[in-house]
């Protein structure tokens, strides 16, 4: 893996100002870390949080806190960082010609010439291999679910070429950790995990539609499809629908996890977390201006806090 010497390793346009990759990482590693979006951690959070939701809700409603729970939380954290990096590298490989034609993405490592395609392929494989090693410490069913997610990861970059709903494919891939982590913690795949997964997909439709509004003009010029372009001036109405669907599915997941006669305090605490998610999504809608790219990026990034609210309440439910 070699960085092309004739091209300076410049920061990516939409990276977080002052991020550790641009200022602290060794210079030779920076293009590869940028491929993994290590300079933009929000994607790792959005991939990780459904894993935490499922692990904590399963523990709160059934198994209780134990060493397995602690390892699943840690293993998912490491795995999310690695698999998000591998997935983003794959995305940049497949989108290298499109990224070079979009203002926000033309500074990414491959279209800007910082990393060769072959170097990116090797880097993707290394990340996936280490993540697979972590996956092998989980149960057999969880391992099979993890392997099954690769098909979703592989398809996603191509979705915007053949459907106006590529955000659905992102949601299918990004929230798969809910069913995987639940299975790893509980020992079997249950209906609460399924509804957590569906709720996460609606949440992804919410936040990634906002994100896609940053590129809608460039996307229209080059023929890339997205829900932002599909919804247009009706985006607010659709986001409200996604908000309601997210909260409803999460509430159903909590109710099914505890079941009739479930412990009252953990149940109410978990439902309070779901309410917190709804309030945070409503707050995002109040401040949204889909024609302001800076506002769209800021609100998109705030979804880390949306997910952390639910994870925090689920953690309290485990303690109760």
pTM reported for the whole predicted model: 0.91
Q: Label residue 226 exposed, middle or buried (CB < 10 Å: 0-12, 13-18, 19+).
A: buried
Give the pLDDT confidence of 204-255 residue by residue, as tens digits: 999 999 999 998 888 888 888 999 999 999 999 999 999 999 999 999 999 9
Cα–Cα separations (whole angstroms), residue 227 to 92, 152, 213, 224, 262: 20, 19, 9, 11, 39
| Token pair belonging to 224 | 């890339």
Q: Say if residue 194's pLDDT is above 90.
A: yes
What pLDDT, on the 0 to 100 scale, is given for residue 10?
66
For residues 270 and 198, give the distance between their C-alpha atoms in angstroms, rounded to a whole number. 17
Q: Which DSSP letter does residue 61 get?
A: I
For residues 308 and 19, give the distance between their C-alpha atoms in angstroms, rounded to a whole number. 21
Nearest to 144 by CA among 156, 153, 132, 128: 132
Give the pLDDT confidence of 8-38 residue by residue, as tens digits: 456 776 667 778 888 888 988 888 998 898 8
| Token pair belonging to 280 | 């945070």
Residues whose CB is less than 8 angstroms from the CB of residue 268 and which lie 6 or more positions away in sequence, other chains included: none
| Token pair belonging to 249 | 């599915």
Q: Work out the pLDDT band at 4, boundaries 50, 70, 90.
A: very low
Residue entry with tokens 């669907």: 245
What pLDDT, on the 0 to 100 scale, is given for residue 8?
44
Q: Cα angle vertex 39, ends 115, 93, to 5°?
A: 35
Q: Which residues pair with 3 in a beta bridge?
A: 115
What pLDDT, on the 0 to 100 scale, is given for residue 71?
96
Query: What mean pLDDT value characterizes the chain?
Result: 90
**pLDDT > 70: percent of the chain:** 95
Nearest to 3 by CA among 19, 23, 26, 37: 26
Higher model confidence: residue 124 or residue 263?
124
Q: Which CATH entry fits the domain spanning 30-319: 1.10.357.140, 1.10.540.10, 1.10.3720.10, 1.10.569.10?
A: 1.10.357.140
Give the pLDDT confidence of 151-183 residue by residue, as tens digits: 999 999 899 889 999 999 999 999 999 999 999
Q: Which helix (H) or strand (E) holds 67?
A: helix 67-94
For residues 255 and 246, give the distance between their C-alpha atoms in angstroms, rounded to a whole number. 14
Q: Which residues pair with 115 in a beta bridge?
A: 3
**The residue count for the chain:** 320
For residues 91 and 235, give the distance between their C-alpha atoms in angstroms, rounded to a whole number. 25
Q: Which DSSP letter does residue 3 get?
A: B
């Amino acid at each position: 893996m070699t960085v092309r010497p004739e091209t300076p390793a410049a920061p990516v346009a939409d990276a977080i100002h002052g991020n550790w990759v641009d200022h602290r990482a060794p210079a030779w590693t920076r293009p590869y870390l940028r491929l993994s979006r290590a300079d933009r951690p929000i994607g790792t959070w959005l991939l990780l949080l459904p894993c935490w939701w499922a692990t904590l809700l399963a523990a709160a409603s059934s198994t209780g806190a134990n060493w397995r729970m602690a390892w699943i939380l840690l293993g998912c954290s490491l795995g999310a960082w690695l698999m998000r990096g591998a997935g983003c590298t794959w995305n940049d490989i497949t989108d290298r010609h499109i990224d070079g034609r979009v203002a926000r993405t033309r500074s990414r490592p491959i279209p800007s010439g910082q990393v060769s395609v072959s170097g990116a392929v090797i880097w993707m494989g290394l990340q996936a291999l280490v993540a697979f090693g972590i996956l092998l410490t989980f149960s057999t069913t969880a391992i099979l679910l993890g392997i099954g997610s690769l098909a979703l990861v592989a398809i996603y970059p191509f979705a915007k070429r053949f459907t106006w709903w590529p955000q659905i494919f992102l949601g299918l891939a990004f929230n798969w950790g809910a069913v995987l982590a639940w299975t790893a913690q509980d020992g079997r795949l249950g209906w609460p995990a399924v509804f957590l997964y569906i709720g996460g997909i609606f949440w992804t439709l919410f936040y990634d539609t906002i994100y896609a509004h940053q590129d809608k003009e460039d996307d229209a010029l080059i023929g890339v499809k997205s829900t932002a372009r599909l919804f247009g001036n009706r985006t607010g109405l659709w986001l409200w629908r996604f908000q309601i669907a997210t909260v409803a599915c999460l509430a159903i997941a909590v109710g099914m996890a505890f079941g009739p006669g479930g412990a009252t305090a953990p149940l109410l605490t978990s439902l309070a977390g779901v309410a917190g998610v709804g309030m945070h999504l409503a707050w995002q809608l109040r401040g949204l201006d889909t024609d302001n790219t800076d506002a769209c990026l800021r609100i998109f990034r705030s979804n880390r806090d949306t997910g952390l609210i639910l994870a925090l309440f689920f953690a309290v439910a485990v303690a109760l």
